[in-house]
Amino acid sequence: MDPWLYYLLALVLIAAGVFCWLANLLSLPGNWVLLLAAALFAWLVPIADGRGVSWTTVWILLALAILGEIIEFAAGAAGAAKRGACRRSMWLSLFGAFAGSIAGAMIGLPIAIIGSPIAALAGGAAGAFFGAYIGETWVGRSHGHSMEVAKGAFAGRIWGTIGKFAVGAVMLALVTIDALI
């Protein structure tokens, strides 16, 4: 393969990887799509002259994607459960976080570059808050208890997203290094 074609394909992979990484802020499976893109690149573009994404890197990316999901789920659920949430609250918190992330991203669109990611993170946390609060009041818990659970879901969602985003950054760095060096 011509070197210019290889580097063009590698840059397309990296650009797609950046979008996948940012998709994590929208509660979308960005790390998983990045993993699939790297696997497709490893399959379609064989390693030549020491350049290319190796299958070892793809397996490491798989482990990291699983770790990112564990961090996101555990932090979000732990934040609510630590404060005594019921299962319904935790599920509504997850649904609210997803819906809030999408809504936040749309609201943040007019603010160039940083608007959507920041608004998606805030919207996801707010959605987790309201989902947990509704879940707790639905089962007849007091306002005070519902607020405590909702605050836990809010904080857990933020920390979970930050953790998954950090794992995605490591994944993107590995793909970039393996593809270009």
| Statement: the pTM of the whole predicted model exceeds 0.75 | yes
**Span 60-67, average pLDDT:** 97
Report the share of the chain in percent with pLDDT over 90: 44
- Encoding tokens for residue 149? 């659970």
- The number of folded domains in the chain is 1
Domain range spanning residue 67? 3-180
What 3 state SS string does 110-162 have? CCCCCHHHHHHHHHHHHHHHHHHHHHHHHCCCCHHHHHHHHHHHHHHHHHHHH
pLDDT digits (tens, 9 = 90+) for 144-171: 989 988 998 889 889 998 999 999 999 9
Q: Compute the distance between CA of residue 181 and CA of residue 166 in angstroms, rounded to an integer.
A: 22
What 3-state DSSP class applies to 85?
A: coil
- Encoding tokens for residue 64? 């990291």
Residue 99 contacts by C-beta under 8 Å, 6 or more apart in sequence?
A: 127
